[in-house]
């Protein structure tokens, strides 16, 4: 664990009271994603909630921009991060050693904390590319996402479901989430893929800096994925949210979740969860993608790794779980 404990003497307090008061400080870091996604501001929102009680808890919360879900769970495994945001499918695959984790092995110490906002699998194409449906991506230049990102993990699942490989594209690039909007508008790619909450800065950039459209991801293979897999569900991106996409867009999606490691102390996880849930209205006001968050769903849905005991303690206390 990289968790640092610092004993700092409260010099002024000592001088005034003569008592040996020392405040122990704990540093935690939340791994997120690209800065124009929703994970990064989500981490910021959690830390902002925790900062309100820092004087009592001694916990200092920081945020790191990372390559995304898969990177985050691997960094939790190695102890480089205490918390991370991860897609619900990545949480499942990591804990069960499936998909991308079949080779690296299950992360059996992964623990769920709570679920957050929905993340539709979002395909954005240049308006001049002729791409209207997902099948039109064949033969095009597509950014399939950096290894370590959640969208790359989900894209691999979609390709397998379709019976496609990256050779079906004219080009399959691996740009980071934060780079793809500009690549799209510079005409270096025809389409980009992002599993992300809405509205997100990245999709706003891609739809305002040039003419582009959101693409439906539907069809029998997607229906099958949703039917077969508990964490995939049909998702709608509301029409009018982004320039150029006036009609609702139908796709499938996952949920963003907060995860941690079994070795992170119960008290730290408890305090984090308490800071978010004790003023959920304020938390929800910190990003528009949080608009429909519901505390019961957050404590129960999309969590396939065991709940961390610190989170469980808080949820039991307030009756969010039985």
Q: Which of 69, 74, 173, 212 binds ligand GLU (CB under 6 A)?
A: 69
Q: Which of 144, 163, 168 is nearest to 154 (CA)?
A: 144
Compare residues 120 and 261 and give the one whose CB is closer to ligand GLU.
120
Binding flag, residue 315, ligand GLU (CB under 6 A)? no
Find the DSSP H helices in 97-194.
101-104, 150-162, 177-185
Report d(CA 155, CA 69) in Å as an integer.
Answer: 13
Subset of 4-63 contacting ligand GLU (CB under 6 A): 33-34, 37-39
Judge residue 87's burial from the number of C-beta atoms within 10 Å of its C-beta, 0-12 exposed, 13-18 middle, 19 or more buried: buried
- The least CB distance from residue 26 to ligand GLU, in Å, is 25
Report d(CA 148, CA 78) in Å as an integer.
Answer: 15
Subset of 73-112 contacting ligand GLU (CB under 6 A): 87
Binding flag, residue 119, ligand GLU (CB under 6 A)? yes
Q: Which of 97, 123, 90 is nearest to 222 (CA)?
A: 123
Compare residues 196 and 215 and give the one whose CB is closer to ligand GLU.
196
Compare residues 151 and 245 and give the one whose CB is closer to ligand GLU.
151
Residues 265-304 as x/- pattern, contact with ligand GLU by CB under 6 A: ----------------------------------------
Cα three-residue angle 188-211-154, rounded to 5 degrees: 60
- The least CB distance from residue 199 to ligand GLU, in Å, is 11
Token readout for 105 is 């092995």
Token readout for 34 is 């690209």
- The least CB distance from residue 230 to ligand GLU, in Å, is 18
- The least CB distance from residue 175 to ligand GLU, in Å, is 13
- CB atoms under 10 Å from CB of 305, counted, come to 23
Q: What is the dihedral of CA 203, 208, 209, 215, to 10 degrees?
A: 50
Q: Which of 143, 151, 207, 257 binds ligand GLU (CB under 6 A)?
A: 151
Binding-site size for ligand GLU (CB under 6 A) equals 15
Subset of 189-218 contacting ligand GLU (CB under 6 A): 195-197
* Biggest CA pair distance of the chain: 75
- The least CB distance from residue 54 to ligand GLU, in Å, is 25
- The least CB distance from residue 140 to ligand GLU, in Å, is 22
Report d(CA 321, CA 258) in Å as an integer.
Answer: 17
Residues that bind ligand GLU (CB under 6 A): 33-34, 37-39, 68-69, 87, 119, 149-151, 195-197
């Amino acid at each position: 664990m990289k968790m640092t404990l610092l004993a700092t003497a409260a010099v002024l307090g000592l001088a005034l009271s003569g008592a040996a008061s020392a405040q122990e400080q704990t540093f935690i870091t939340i791994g997120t994603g690209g800065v124009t996604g929703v994970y990064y501001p989500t981490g910021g929102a959690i830390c902002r909630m925790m900062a309100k009680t820092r004087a009592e808890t001694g916990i200092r919360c920081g945020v790191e921009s990372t390559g995304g879900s898969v990177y985050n769970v691997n960094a939790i495994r190695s102890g480089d991060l205490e918390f991370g945001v991860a897609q619900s499918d990545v949480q499942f695959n990591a804990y069960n050693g499936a998909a991308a984790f079949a080779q690296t092995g299950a992360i059996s110490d992964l623990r769920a904390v709570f679920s957050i906002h929905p993340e539709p699998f979002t395909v954005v194409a240049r308006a001049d590319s002729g791409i209207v449906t997902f099948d039109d991506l064949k033969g095009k230049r597509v950014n399939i996402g950096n290894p370590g990102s959640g969208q790359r993990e989900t894209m691999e699942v979609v390709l397998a479901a379709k019976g496609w490989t990256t050779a079906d594209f004219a080009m399959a690039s691996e740009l980071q989430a934060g780079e793809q909007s500009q690549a799209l508008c510079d005409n270096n790619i025809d389409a980009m893929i992002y599993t992300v909450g809405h509205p997100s800065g990245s999709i706003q950039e891609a739809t305002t800096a040039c003419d582009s459209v959101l693409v439906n991801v539907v069809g029998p293979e997607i229906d099958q994925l949703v039917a077969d897999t508990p964490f995939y569900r049909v998702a709608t991106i509301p029409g009018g949210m982004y320039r150029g996409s006036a009609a609702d867009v139908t796709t499938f999606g996952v949920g963003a979740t907060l995860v941690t490691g079994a070795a992170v102390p119960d008290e730290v996880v408890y305090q984090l969860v308490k800071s978010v849930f004790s003023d959920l209205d304020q938390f929800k006001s910190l990003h528009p993608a949080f608009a429909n968050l519901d505390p019961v769903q957050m404590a129960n849905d999309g969590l396939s790794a065991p709940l961390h005991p610190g989170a469980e303690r808080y949820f039991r206390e307030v009756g969010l779980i039985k």
